[in-house]
Structure 1
């Protein structure tokens, strides 16, 4: 068994994607089409080989900051990929994780800044070095039942009522769900950008990664792993749009936009229910709302996984930097707590 680093997957691309599909939590953000479309300038694939057979590996980006290497997981940034982990063949998970950990922990000074980690994954458990957990975020999901009616019956009454009333009203106005094919992707992406921006504006960091996202959607559509849906009428007016990733029987909700006009109220919920219904009809087993504890997600899901952000140092200079940064965070937190307590005492 040997470990090599390559700038692209090359001849191992098909095998890599096959391994992703066999994982217990097959994240779309580990698929080659996503990694290649969102690649940073210094992206590397750390591959673990048995002869010429790919056992697995990890996709990372490596930058130099002064004396330190700064290693992040491939695709990290404004697009916020989730459930990241080492990719490994069934039965080889521990060996691959060990080999990757050895590569990350080799001599030198480096910061391992890993956001979007699957909390229960092997990488989260085997990242070498000393450091801290910067954040832990829930990622709600639901195991899909046999029928859409059964799924809907398990949702809160307010959501069921919204879907039923809005579905009738929007259908009467001529709105219907449409799944977009590759030929219509440019217009659909333009609609998403417009609706998302009108709803969120500067509050959303997503549009900062727009070029890479557009490349990923086009590549994912071509690979059959992207569901791009619109709720629109015969005049082409779009009330809602949603993009989901479909990998190994799982559907992952990624981004959406909707009209803010009063007559289109409830359109986002209607479209999402239609997407979940189609997923159930096609035999999908799970709908994942990815990271974020927003209250609306609890209406659509009934379980949750963790997504964590770890930052660790390897080598004395990196460990010292991590320790100093952690001390500053603790001091700021303490000052904030004291200020809050003093403010409360003054008001009392």
Structure 2
């Protein structure tokens, strides 16, 4: 029987809080589409749901989601549906999406995206659903969203490939669209720092030692420390933003702190992650001033590296390499079994002896306008590659 076969023929109105229930004897979840107030009211239930799911990630926690809603998503057009146990009221799952209006080739269209996604670039995203009902409820939530569809394109970036969202969204292999793998390197820590060193390239291992000794010898007041108080977050995040943007600008990149909205968001996340016990914000100080900062988050047995920056004036001492080593050793010392480098298979990550796994980005048209846009995209792709008009 199809997952929705026993549900009353009633659509959940966008932006409302309407409900429908099972009309047969199965204990189908109670579904509810939430407005912004309803979504914010989930704060106390959100993290317990994530903990009960098989999709753990710092980017699924309320520290991330709530910060995004309060900053970059302040005016977002939310598309959120919850599933609850009809008897106990327990939250069983959430479909946490947003509809974003965009333009392509002069045409306006609406894209379905995940809450907290976009410029912030989170990874390992999913629909948080209790693990023992993930397939059933994931399919139910996805089909509910699809039936009341008000978007033209699905654009889901940084999705965990084996979670309920990927399974539900990819269940029809004949749908048009594309799925692209996103490389996410990680470093096992079970063998301790000695094992990590053994997995590095020889040159990388020697540089960590050489430049570490050089800094300790030639500078005074060299201290590696983790930020543990809310009062230090503002100054440390400001230093991180300035150093990160300077390095990125030299490479021609936009950077993670490129506009005030992103800065506000990252500061909000840091504060919430600290309160939740997940923030791993490390500083490398010389005479009381940060010359390198690395921002990481802990979830379960994993510490995830999110962003970093260093003072280019100190580059001859390898501060970026050193602060990364500090964060990895810190993760080992607190019993973490994995250091997650997140998306991007850059050379500096490979130097640590990382292994590789992949998230996915799923893009797919929905409805007539979406299919037209998808066709335009397919036609335009050869143009972009050749830099001109297609031959006739």
Tell me if the contact between 1:109 and 1:316 (Cα under 8 Å) persists in the aligned partners: no
Task: Identify which of 62, 72, 79 aligns with 2:99.
Answer: 62
Answering whether residue 323 of structure 2 is matched by residue 266 of structure 1, we say: no
* Aligned mates of 1:274, 1:67 — CA distance in 2: 47
Higher mean C-alpha deviation, range 58-67 or range 95-104: 58-67
Q: CA deviation at 1:262?
A: 4.6
1:138-287 aligned within 5 A: 138-172=183-217, 173=219, 174-181=221-228, 182-201=230-249, 203-207=253-257, 208=259, 209-233=262-286, 235-262=287-314, 264-287=316-339
* C-alpha RMSD over aligned residues: 2.5
Note the alpha carbon deviations across 1:149-205, whole angstroms, 9 max, x for none. Answer: 222222111111111112222223231211112210011011111111221125124
Structure 1: runs of 5+ lacking an equivalent:
340-348
* Aligned mates of 2:344, 2:327 — CA distance in 1: 20
Tell me if the contact between 1:252 and 1:288 (Cα under 8 Å) persists in the aligned partners: yes
Residue of structure 1 in register with 2:357 after alignment: 305
Residue of structure 2 in register with 1:344 after alignment: none
Tell me if the contact between 1:85 and 1:118 (Cα under 8 Å) persists in the aligned partners: yes
SS in 2 for 1:87: coil
Residue of structure 2 in register with 1:34 after alignment: 64
Change (3 A) 1:298 1:120: farther
Structure 2: runs of 5+ lacking an equivalent:
1-28
Change (3 A) 1:24 1:158: farther
Regions of 4+ moved over 6 Å: none
Of Structure 1 and Structure 2, the greater helix share is in 1
Residue of structure 2 in register with 1:83 after alignment: 124
Aligned length: 337
Residue of structure 2 in register with 1:332 after alignment: 383
* Aligned mates of 2:135, 2:371 — CA distance in 1: 26
* Aligned mates of 1:67, 1:238 — CA distance in 2: 45
Residue of structure 2 in register with 1:113 after alignment: 155
* Aligned mates of 1:71, 1:5 — CA distance in 2: 15
Higher mean C-alpha deviation, range 66-75 or range 45-54: 66-75
Tell me if the contact between 2:291 and 2:314 (Cα under 8 Å) persists in the aligned partners: no
Tell me if the contact between 1:2 and 1:48 (Cα under 8 Å) persists in the aligned partners: yes
Tell me if the contact between 2:159 and 2:361 (Cα under 8 Å) persists in the aligned partners: yes
TM-score by length of 2: 0.79
* Aligned mates of 1:4, 1:131 — CA distance in 2: 29
